[in-house]
Structure 1
Amino acid sequence: MFEYWSEEFTASQRRVVDPPMPVLVDLSVAIPTFGPFRRDAVSLRIKSGALDLTATVPGLLYAWAQCTDSSWVGLVGFAIPTANKRGRIETRQWTPARALSRQARSP
Structure 2
Amino acid sequence: MFEYWSDGFSASLRRVVDPPQPVLVDLGLAIPTRGHLGGTATMRIKAGGLHVAGTVPGLLYAWARTTEGTWLGLVGFAIVTGNRRGRVEVKQWCDAAALSRPDGRGRPRR
Residue 55 of structure 1, CA deviation? 2.4
Counterpart for residue 2 of structure 1: 2
Q: How much identity, in percent, do the aligned residues show?
A: 62
Count of residues in correspondence between the two structures: 104
Distance in 2 (CA, whole Å) between partners of 1:44 and 1:70 is 42
Letter in structure 1 aligned against 2:19: P
Residue 78 (1) aligns with residue 77 (2): yes
Residue 70 of structure 1, CA deviation? 0.6
SS of corresponding position for 1:28: helix
TM-score, normalised to structure 1's length? 0.91
Residue 56 (1) aligns with residue 50 (2): no
Letter in structure 1 aligned against 2:100: S
Unaligned runs of 5+ residues in structure 2 are 105-110
Give matches, 1:1-107, under 5 Å: 1-37=1-37, 41-104=40-103
Unaligned runs of 5+ residues in structure 1 are none
Distance in 2 (CA, whole Å) between partners of 1:58 and 1:83 is 17
Distance in 1 (CA, whole Å) between partners of 2:67 and 2:97 is 16
SS of corresponding position for 1:104: coil
RMSD value, Cα: 1.4
